[in-house]
Structure 1
Amino acid sequence: MLVLQHIHYAYSQSDSLSDISLTINAGEAVAFMGPNGSGKSTLFKLINGLIQPSAGQYYFKDQLVDTRFLKKPTQATALHRAIGFVFQNSDVQLFNETVRAELAFGPEQMGLAPDVIQQRVNDCLALLQIEKLADRVPYQLSGGEKKLVALGSVLTMNPEMIVLDEPFNGLSAAYQALLIRLLQQLNAAGKGILIASHNLAQVKQVAKRLVVFNENHQVTHDLPLTKLKQKPVLQQTLALL
């Protein structure tokens, strides 16, 4: 579904991604780990078409994602519908007057019928167990509630892949457990899950593949999580992130 070939990205004079080559298939659950500033968030923005590489190629369903691709509304819309991005900071993602309006916004932009939109919103409210928040103002919610609403605003568009940047940060233990169950259910239903996290114990419950970045913005490991126990030094390093 996604192919990245020798991707580089630089902020000013400093590299943020250095020679990244990855293939991510539909339905995969992949965790990205590494120190702060190693390039995980930058990679996620690139995958979602928010930034473009300084060098290298990014293919989405065999189509090159470049300036020409993103300038075509139908292609850019297809990318953004297929890949839902849950930002690390939920405040930058929530802007509607109510939670219900937040969840309805994406499907409305897709031009879906009102009854279909209402059904999607109600289904997501129930799935996320946030029915009681439906008429609340998003910016007045707790951090955990905001995170669930941000996820809901993505889910109502029924993406093929969900990208989550540090989704467990600032969440209570109860909200973390709820989010893990949701991600497990979504992956079991065929949704691809890409997740950046510093918490190895939580990653193990969601992902089946692990991609590790180093401080030089390079991928040092790409392996099934089942093989991690064969690399005790790497496991110890990840546990200390």
Structure 2
Amino acid sequence: MTKQCPALQRKIIQCQTCPRLVRYISEIKKTHPSYWCRPVPAFGDFRARILVLGLAPGRFGSNRTGRMFTGDASGTFLYPVLHELGLATKPSAVNRKDGLKLKNTLITAVVRCAPPKNKPTSKELAACRPFWQKEIALLADLRVVVALGKVAHDEYVRFRLKERGGTLSHFPFRHGAVYSFQERPEILIDTYHPSRQNTNTGRLTRTMFLAVFKEAIKWMIAGE
């Protein structure tokens, strides 16, 4: 498993499946040649028991630095919480060489290239599904999926409903909601995305976000 995950990440970085996304990040690269401007690989512990499932790289965040939630306001909100709970070695994320490591946690996203206006199309979501679904399959000890926002929630729920049947309406997105899926060892916990729009308006507070990850750790320990 530990060998397969890095190999998968290399494959992700080389992907050029979605014409609109390739054009978009290529145009950014022309004006910002130091930016990563490629698909962003998962980041963290490839033996993780907690998977953080985000939406997509931000234009000036992960698309710039090449690492999940690194270099933007969302990461500034996320990593101090992970650090406080012992899931990250540092409370800040600056770049790929800053020494930050995660413990029992892997961060990925349902789309791996920065989309215009942070809104991937349905085709782009479909193109990226094999990547994060394969990551989940490789996490033998996975116990918790934390969905950052409704799009990530819907993608994960649809993935599991393929196996057991049911409808998305039976699993509505709600901050703090906890869902289990028949014959699956991991549970799903929802949270609002730590976007600037949510954190600046108070829709998502640090206390709320911290509570979600405390709940994730509780379920992780219960599954040991």
TM-score > 0.5 by shorter chain: no
TM-score after normalising by structure 1: 0.29
User: Which structure ranks higher in relative contact order (CA pairs < 8 Å, sequence separation ≥ 6)?
Assistant: 1
TM-score after normalising by structure 2: 0.31
The structure where strand makes up a greater share of residues is: 1
Q: Which has the larger radius of gyration?
A: 1
